[in-house]
Amino acid sequence: MAPMRVVLASGSPSRLMLLRNAGVEPIVHPATVDEESILRELVSAPPRDRVAALARAKCGAVAPRYPEDITVGCDSMLFIQGRLTGKPHTIEEAIRRWTAQAGKVGTLLTAHCVAGPGGARYEEVSQTAVHFGTPTKRDIEAYAASGEPLPCAGAFTLEALGSWFIDRIEGDPSGVIGLSMSTLRKALYSMGIDASRLWNR
């Protein structure tokens, strides 16, 4: 049986890496959605609902073009100290966030919306507790200056330079990286699809 096509509605290198490492070579079709507008409309909603709305919008923007394939939309945000934070975008903001979150524990929320053939749909938000280390001021500045944390939810990565500064996590590692493979498996099973059908090798 030929592999099913997977469409990744994201330009995230980390999500692409996770799929490739799991034997999937997806079609990469980043969704274009107004994230700020969506979040503004849901400003009073629970954190999980706000992140889920972003993943739903991304999947919804791309899935209609691939009705017979599996479209995966995701979004991640960090809930820490009563605030939901996304990507820092600038070096200055990354430094500010790391100075504030060093030594604390946050919850990384990764929302998934998976669309399949025949209009099938599966949604789930994975959550993982992230215990941040206490890097020196110089290390925080060097990490921010590397550019790595700027496009990342919570201003950190688990799989690259950021691994130096994460003491431990409690939950799904792939969810922290950006796409929970166990959640994707559950989505496929809910549609009657074996995970191995996605493998290209």
| pTM score of the predicted model | 0.92
SS3 192: coil
75 part of the active site? yes
> How does residue 174 score in pLDDT terms, banded at 50, 70 and 90?
very high
**Tokens standing for 19?**
């799929």
Question: Is 186 domain-assigned?
Answer: yes
Structure tokens at 69: 């394939």
First to last CA, the chain: 12
Cα separation, 80 vs 142, in Å, equals 23
Number of domains in the chain: 1
The answer to whether residue 192 sits within a structural domain is yes
Q: Is residue 136 part of a domain?
A: yes
Q: Which of 34, 69, 75, 139 is catalytic?
A: 75
Specify if 193 maps to a domain. Answer: yes
Please give the residue range of the domain that contains residue 90.
Answer: 6-198
Residue whose token pair is 């922290």: 176
**What does the pLDDT look like over 143-171, one tens digit per residue?**
999 999 999 999 999 999 999 999 999 99
Identify the CATH number of the domain in which residue 21 sits. 3.90.950.10
Q: Give yes or no for a contact between 42 and 55, defined as CB atoms under 8 angstroms apart.
A: no
| Residue pLDDT, tens place only, 16-58 | 999 999 999 999 999 999 999 999 999 899 999 999 999 999 9
Kindly state whether residue 1 falls inside one of the protein's structural domains.
no
Is residue 109 included in any domain, yes or no? yes
Mean pLDDT of 163-190: 96
Confirm whether 107 is domain-assigned.
yes
14 domain-assigned: yes
- 10 Å CB burial of residue 19 (0-12, 13-18, 19+) is buried
